[in-house]
Amino acid sequence: MRLFANANYKFIEKRRTAYVVSAVTVVVGIVAMLANVALIGSWQNYGVDFTGGSLVQVHFNEDHGVGPVRDALGGASGPEVTRFDGENEFVIRAPLDEGASVDAVRESIEGQLEAAFGPGSFDISRTELVGPKIGAELQQKALLAILFSFALTLIYLAIRFELRFGMAAVIATMHDILITLGFLALFRVEIALPTVAAILTIVGYSLNDTIVVFDRIRENMAAKGARKLDQIELIDRSINETLPRTVLTSGTTLAVLVALLLVGPAVIRDFSLVLILGVMIGTYSSIFVASPALVEIRKRMGDGDRDRKKRRPQAASV
């Protein structure tokens, strides 16, 4: 990419400004989470999958597609509709208001579908009450998946690179997740299964972007004469060398996600929105959080030269 072919930006010099931007964004997100606890009783706006509600399975005599069924129930603001098993089978997850019964929800859905498709065009196969226990299990498994990814990343980078690289990568990924969760809390985006999938995807994307930059840093550090160079200058050079790849990869990914957001079905809009945010934050953090974190860690823990000198065999005294 010619635009960044000879880039020579001083990213590390701007790290303190980046620290302030990241700190303010994280604090705003935490305040939004606390406000949600006070206003809606939960730090996030959880959907039916997490809070519980009613599940209604409907079988149509003809295939109408997900869109018309969702439109009949209120469109994007209506209950979640997903295709189930066969082409004419749909599952509708609707919230259950306090004091309302599952039968009342079923009758409401039945009435709306009859108004749109006519009586006798469908039959309701089953109606169930979805308990919040499933949501608690999902939260626990999502948290475990993220913690496992941190642990495995730390182990991989400690073996492939150094422990310092692994610590910096984990810090950057935690930064990305915190800001994403803060955004979801601030705008009260409904947390459903696709949202959890998007957050886990962000973890993978952010780590991949960070590892690409770290790989170039490691290569440049191992080059002949690199130890005589200023480490900040060397890391800046590494970021600039990977900048064309970073911009091109993030740009094309964002183009696809924006297209999905604008012309895709309503059911994946939140998923696309979270991924767009995640890609932008992941790109920012790989440059302005992960690499500066590596600089700070190396300042505090050393750059490894002392350890290598200790391990270097000494000449025998005569």
Distances (CA, A) of 148 to 142, 151, 170, 210: 10, 5, 11, 18
Range 11-28 average pLDDT: 93
For the chain, give the mean pLDDT: 82
Q: How many CA atoms lie within 13 A of 191 on its CB side?
A: 23
The rounded percent of the chain whose pLDDT value lies above 90 is: 22
Reported as a pLDDT band with limits 50, 70 and 90, residue 303 is: low
Contact by Cβ (8 Å): 190, 46:
yes
Task: State yes or no: pLDDT of 26 exceeds 50.
Answer: yes
Contact by Cβ (8 Å): 205, 56:
no
For residue 60, what are the β-bridge partners?
A: 122
Task: State yes or no: pLDDT of 316 exceeds 50.
Answer: no
Of residues 76 and 194, the one with the higher pLDDT is 194
Starting at the earlier edge strand, list the strands of the sheet with 80-83.
80-83, 89-94, 53-60, 122-130
pLDDT of residue 317: 39
Contacts of 184 (CB under 8 A, 6+ apart): 44, 45, 191, 195, 274
Tokens of 256: 């696809």
The rounded percent of the chain whose pLDDT value lies above 70 is: 88
Residue range 165-180, pLDDT digits in tens: 889 988 998 899 899 9
pLDDT of residue 3: 64
d(CA 279, CA 251): 9
Distances (CA, A) of 258 to 198, 199, 253, 255, 285: 14, 17, 9, 5, 21
3-state DSSP assignment of residue 153: helix
d(CA 78, CA 90): 14
pLDDT of residue 315: 44
Pairing of strands 190-191, 45-46: parallel
d(CA 308, CA 227): 13
Task: State yes or no: pLDDT of 248 exceeds 70.
Answer: yes
Contacts of 213 (CB under 8 A, 6+ apart): 238, 239, 242, 246, 286, 287, 290, 291
pLDDT of residue 311: 46
For residue 94, what are the β-bridge partners?
A: 54
Distances (CA, A) of 259 to 201, 248, 309: 18, 17, 54
Reported as a pLDDT band with limits 50, 70 and 90, residue 25 is: very high
d(CA 48, CA 81): 12
Residue range 128-153, pLDDT digits in tens: 777 666 667 777 777 787 788 778 87
Which of 130, 116, 126, 117 minimizes the C-alpha distance to 56? 126
d(CA 165, CA 290): 9
For residue 191, what are the β-bridge partners?
A: 46
